Structure 1
Amino acid sequence: MIFREARKSDIKQIQIVRNSVTENTLSNPDLITDEDCLDFITKRGKGWVCEIDNKIVGFAIADIKEHNIWALFVHPDFEKKGIGRHLHDLMLDWYFNQTSHNVWLGTSPKTRAEKFYRKSGWKEVGTHGKGEIKFEMTLETWNYKIRERNSIKNQF
């Protein structure tokens, strides 16, 4: 498993992962263009990928301009292997090294993603879009999560 920053040449595989998920699916896959993805990983923020055998199996993208998480997805064949957690942590570490501004995201209710974000310390702050739950993460909460994570690592 290789985790690294996303680059332009990854976009086609990022789109494959995005369109393979079974939850939080796009109503119209054409709504997210390759140009949108390029803009988010080069101008609006940054992205990361997880690569296994030269194949992208997960990705995450943070939007520093709008202070939100634009994407965090793992191909269904590679779920429950810690890939989403690692991408999430890389992304938030980077984000909070750029700004102390709260970051938000939206996700569908009653999904594994909702449970993941709650467990990760995100706080529900309302709704977004078409019935999505809007979550927010603060720098203070993230710093607490980092201390908690490091404390657990130091126990072993």
Structure 2
Amino acid sequence: MIIREATIDDIRQIQVVRNSVKENPLSNPNLVTDEDCRIFITQRGKGWVCEIDNNVIGFSIADLQENNIWALFVHPDFDRLGAGRQLHDVMINWYFSKTKETVWLGTAPGTRAEAFYRKAGWKEVGMHGKGEIKFEMSHSDWLLNTQ
């Protein structure tokens, strides 16, 4: 399992992973375009992929403009291998190396993602969007979680 920075060449495989998930699926796959991915990994923030045998099995993307985690997904055929946590940690370490601003994300309630973020130290702060739980992570909380 290799974690590395995402490139424009990874977008096709990132889209395959994003559209394979069983929880938090897109209601319409056209809502997240290749151009959206390109902008988020090259201009707004940065992305990472997890590869096994040169195949992207997961990815994460942080958005510095909105202080947001734009995406963290692992293909369901490869969950529970630790890829999600590795992608999370490299992304959050990078994020806080660039800014000390609190970062936030939204995820559907009652999902494995909700449990994942709680276990990783994220704090629920309310609701967001269409019934998603809004979580935040402060720089100081992240430092406490990594000790």
TM-score range, shorter chain: over 0.9
Q: What is the distance in 2 between the residues matched to 1:45 and 1:11?
A: 15
What is the number of residues matched between the two proteins?
A: 147
| 1:139 alignment counterpart | 139
The letter for the 2-side match of 1:66 is E
Counterpart in the other structure of 2:91: 91
| TM-score (ref. length: structure 1) | 0.94
Q: Which runs of 5+ in 2 are unaligned?
A: none
The separation in 2 between residues aligned to 1:46 and 1:9, in whole angstroms, is: 14
Distance 1:136 1:145 in 2: 13
The TM-score with structure 2 as length reference comes to 0.99
Runs of 4+ in 1 over 3 A off after TM superposition: none
* Identity score, percent: 68
Could you tell me how far apart the structure 2 residues matched to 1:102 and 1:108 are? 20
Q: 1:150 — aligned with what?
A: none
CA displacement, residues 13-72 of structure 1 (integer Å, 9 cap, x when unaligned): 000000000000000010000000000000000000001111100000000000000000
CA distance, structure 1, for counterparts of residue 53 and residue 82 of structure 2: 17
Give the superposed CA RMSD: 0.4
Name structure 1 gaps, 5 residues minimum: 148-156
Q: Distance in 1 between matches of 2:54 and 2:123?
A: 35
**Alignment partners' CA distance in 2, 1:95 and 1:76:** 26
Q: CA deviation at 1:89?
A: 0.1
Q: Does 1:46 align with 2:49?
A: no
> For 1:122-142, what per-residue CA distance to the aligned partner results, in whole angstroms no more than 9, with x for missing partners?
000111110000000000000
